[in-house]
Amino acid sequence: MQNTATVGGEQTKVKITDAKHNLNVAALYEDAIRNGEAHIGGSGPIVVSTGQYTGRSPKDKFVVEEESSIDKIWWGNVNKPMSEEKFNALRDRMLQYLEDKELYVQDLYVGADPDYRLSVRICTETAWANLFSRNLFIRPNKEDLAEFEADFTVINVPSFKADPATDGTHSDVFVLLNLGQKLVLIGGTRYAGEIKKSMFTVMNYMLPMRGVMPMHCSANIGPDGDSALFFGLSGTGKTTLSADKTRTLIGDDETGWSDRGVFNFEGGCYAKVIKLSQTAEPDIWSASHRFGTVLENVVMDPETRELDLDSDKLTENTRSAYPIYFIPNASPTGTGGHPKNIMMLTADAFGVMPPIAKLTPEQAMYYFLSGYTAKLAGTERGVTKPEPEFSACFGSPFLPLPPMTYARQLGEKIRQHGSHVWLVNTGWTGGPFGTGKRMSIAYTRAMVNAALNGSLAQMGTKPDPTFGFHVPTSCPGAPDEVLWPRNTWGDKDSYDAAAHDLAQRFQENFKKFADQVTEGVRGAGPKV
């Protein structure tokens, strides 16, 4: 263990002399308990509370206006600008604040493919956040650590708060990305997902310029070598559906697609565990009850130390962060071939989307750019119930470049490799949120499995009269009536009205892309 660490970008290297460098899991456990940061659950995981902030803070994210990236960034509500002057002043105060603080440092990789990976130095105020980072990113071997040089640095100091009047921030919370200095600063929030997603944003900036498509998706591979991708925002089922005992897990959230195939960005999983079922999701359940796992905002009995995964007392956004090798059938390389099937997941709060539908290449482009889902409670600050959300490329909060950059890459790769694309609704059926119920995970798995093994493609289909995609008339393992959502509603007129309303929302949202796509893609959306 070293007691010094160099932090900051190329222009701002600063030595922190009181640093604990690359501690192992046991040592980080000991410090987290000694520091009063966490408790140990009865089965071994470390249990932490992130306090006021139990989800990401998108309004507090800023990208620095600097020469190397200013003309490339997709500026707007997602990537709000901050001047270099403001950033440098806050950075200097933050580093001065750390001079008498103990800091935990992990040297890690992002990207399982050595040709495209980044080395990142994660510096955290707390031991548990350092363990979180060690779990979620890729851990170098001893030989690599001996010659490690960081491409990027992330400094995470929850106790350091911004002054909006001085710093130009939205609140005392901040997530600042300086692509020129190769530096990320996070303060005011203990929610560790900000660490993970900041480096995902960095990869989303750098990889397209190298011909690699970065994707907000999970990935797995079948026994015959057929890879599959699962796009979707938080809560749509990326982690759950990619954890399949019959297939090898490549990664559960962030993936790259190069000329060689797909590869995981991470070395761990960050699963949402509210109401996690041991029966339906045994691998994630087991991983969440192990020594080494970090549980965020999971309720625990203080006496028995038993976990209550059903409780939303602290938040709906309860999380489990564990190394990917805690999943028994995880890939040791984190890589796979070009995807044969692509699933675009949505949690439809209106209850009008079918549980599965086949998309043409043009429809794939349309629905990828639309990125429709429901923003689920707890995933972001201020969200207390599901809300309809159009998130370009199923991940607009993490896109530093214009969405068309990623959509064009997807269209090219689908055409080049002949991938089949499916729209999968893991949301509501029988009515909207509050009236209907969530789609059975058993039915969803049956439909996805049928798509992956090719049997669903052999079934007859009918075009949806509103949305146009082709819906199977039957599917092994799922009742025929659930395939057509209108059949599950008691009031058919209400369904028709809800479908019409959602179609209009799609059309209105897509206007911003209309002059950037072909006529075929423009016409691939729903009809009103």
Contact 226, 244 (CB under 8 A): no
Catalytic hit among 216, 247, 381, 413: 216
Q: Where do we find the tokens 């020594």?
A: 291
Q: E strands within 252-323?
A: 255-257, 262-264, 268-272, 294-296, 299-300, 307-308, 319-323
Phi and psi at residue 35, to the nearest 5°:
-80, -5
Catalytic hit among 239, 293, 335, 444: 239
56 annotated active-site: yes
Q: Would strands 152-157 and 183-187 be described as parallel, antiparallel, or unpaired? A: parallel
210 annotated active-site: no
Catalytic hit among 56, 86, 272, 420: 56
User: How far apart (Å, rounded) are the C-alpha atoms in residues 184 and 123?
Assistant: 10
197 annotated active-site: yes
Catalytic hit among 197, 272, 358, 413: 197
Catalytic hit among 91, 238, 272, 358: 238
User: How far apart (Å, rounded) are the C-alpha atoms in residues 319 and 298?
Assistant: 7
Catalytic hit among 253, 283, 348, 464: 253
| Cα–Cα separations (whole angstroms), residue 31 to 20, 102, 156, 319, 396 | 10, 11, 17, 21, 36
Catalytic hit among 61, 86, 117, 319: 319
Q: Residue 312 CB: number of other CB atoms within 10 A?
A: 15
- DSSP designation for 392: G
What the block records as the tokens of 253 is: 């959230």
Q: Where do we find the tokens 């040297």?
A: 107
Q: Would strands 227-231 and 61-65 be described as parallel, antiparallel, or unpaired? A: unpaired
Candidates 406, 339, 423; CA nearest to 74 is 406
Is residue 114 classed exposed, middle or buried when 0-12, 13-18 and 19+ CB atoms within 10 A define those classes? Answer: exposed
Q: What residues pair up with 234 in beta bridges, in sequence order?
A: none
Candidates 61, 41, 38; CA nearest to 51 is 38
Q: How many CA atoms lie within 13 A of 452 on its CB side?
A: 26
User: How far apart (Å, rounded) are the C-alpha atoms in residues 38 and 32?
Assistant: 6
Q: Cβ contacts of residue 18 below 8 Å, gap of 6+?
A: 3, 100, 101, 102, 103
Using DSSP's 3-state secondary structure scheme, residue 109 falls into strand
Q: Cβ contacts of residue 155 below 8 Å, gap of 6+?
A: 7, 8, 94, 98, 123, 183, 184, 185, 186
Catalytic hit among 124, 227, 234, 405: 234
69 annotated active-site: no
Candidates 470, 479, 475; CA nearest to 455 is 475
Contact 46, 40 (CB under 8 A): yes
User: How far apart (Å, rounded) are the C-alpha atoms in residues 421 and 444?
Assistant: 16
247 annotated active-site: no
User: How far apart (Å, rounded) are the C-alpha atoms in residues 239 and 322?
Assistant: 12
49 annotated active-site: no
Give catalytic residue positions.
56, 197, 216, 234, 238-239, 253, 319
